[in-house]
Amino acid sequence: MNNQDVIIRQSGPVGHITLNRPQALHALNTMMCAQISNALSDWKINNEVKLIVIDHAEGTRGFCAGGDIKPMAESGQGDGVDVRVFFETEYRMNVQLFEYPKPIVTFIDGITMGGGVGLSVHGSHSIATENTVFAMPETGIGLFPDVGGGWFLPRLGGGLGQWLGLTGARLKGADVAAAGIATHYVEEKVLAAVKDMVMLGDIETLEAMEWEAYGSFVKQLETITKCFDKETVEDVFAALEEDGSEWALKQLSIMKTKCPFSLKVTLRQMIEGEKLASFRETMLMEFRLANRAVRRADFAEGVRAVVIDKDNAPQWNPATLADVDEIELDEMFAPLKSGDLTFI
């Protein structure tokens, strides 16, 4: 079951998945998602396997930087077939992780963004270290925080998820656990011992561990709630302007560089996602959004600016919030004419 990009094996009572694509910071492609999904299916009915461990190859930087966006943009500007298959495969994997009947322990010791968040946040246990860097930076490339962002981000409460999703803000180390995104925080110096314990099938000790994780964002929580727990992006902008603090104006400045259409999609995604009763419904919504978002010129422009030319100067169309077509925004959330995703 192994290939160059992901290593899958059983070690005693543990099903072990290791991301092994260091040249791309372990970014996910369709084959990797399919192999992980197949392994999860096999281990679900294997009575010898008591828990799943997901990590990245030792000595490599980052846990998972997200999805492989350059091929996604190329497909989106073409017939869109390959990128649709990618989303189908990745989102089914996300649902498997969310609904899995056995413990899943993920070690996010490094960069964890986009698809890497989807691979780690939906399992039963995720362990952050001082090396962890969490972000959902999709509004900066003309997308939105998918892989279940519409489910877990608004449920962080107090506008915290809205702040993370709209600005693409990075949380580092203990911040990730303090925000409720990781379930545990351990220092790197004891990480190997913790992993050895888990690899023996012992999660009871993990669950009993005491740990402290102070969030550096805590001092801004009142401002975050006041400014980001809003119904429209325009209201967020106005609240930040009115607050006038150095921190608030910095967030406003950051958001003004993001894709206006993506900002509107993202806030509505979280408002709608918070109302939905099931994770599957959230992933269906995001499948509709993703298939449409990758066909828009903004995504191709975002990938050009960030990945290809690296000038970090995207020219968004529309260029302002005021120019966003509300009818087009509504259409993003409508059922797909080409058929919606099913999770059978």
Terminal C-alpha separation, the chain: 23
Q: What is the pLDDT of residues 233-250, one digit of tens each?
A: 999 999 999 999 999 999
Catalytic residue among 146, 229, 298, 301: 146
What is the per-residue pLDDT for 61? Answer: 83
Q: In the CATH hierarchy, which fold is given to the domain comprising 1-344?
A: 2-enoyl-CoA Hydratase; Chain A, domain 1 (3.90.226)
Those residues whose C-beta lies under 8 Å from the C-beta of residue 153, and which sit 6 or more positions away, are 136, 145, 160, 161, 162, 164, 165, 270, 273
- Other CB atoms within 10 Å distance of the CB of residue 335: 9
C-alpha 6, offset from chain centre: 19
Asked if 63 and 19 count as a contact pair (C-beta separation under 8 A), the reply is yes
Residue 150 annotated as catalytic: no
Residue 115 annotated as catalytic: yes
Catalytic residue among 67, 142, 173, 302: 67
Is the preceding omega at residue 314 within 30 degrees of 0, hence cis? Answer: no
What is the per-residue pLDDT for 219? Answer: 93
Helix axes 233-243 and 160-167, enclosed angle (nearest 10): 100
What is the per-residue pLDDT for 212? Answer: 73
Catalytic residue among 5, 55, 109, 138: 138
Q: Which of 167, 188, 164, 166 is nearest to 176 (CA)?
A: 164
What is the per-residue pLDDT for 215? Answer: 84
Catalytic residue among 62, 115, 118, 273: 115
Q: What is the mean pLDDT of each run of 10 residues along the chain (344 residues)?
A: 82 97 95 98 98 93 91 94 96 98 97 96 96 97 98 97 98 94 93 95 88 84 97 98 98 98 98 97 97 97 95 96 97 94 78
Q: What is the pLDDT of residues 198-257, one digit of tens each?
A: 999 999 988 888 777 778 899 999 999 999 999 999 999 999 999 999 999 999 999 999
**pTM of this structure:** 0.95
User: 4-7: long-range contacts (C-beta < 8 A, 24 or more apart)?
Assistant: 5/29, 5/31, 5/32, 6/31, 6/32, 6/35, 6/36, 7/57
- Other CB atoms within 10 Å distance of the CB of residue 218: 12
Residue 138 annotated as catalytic: yes
Residue 146 annotated as catalytic: yes
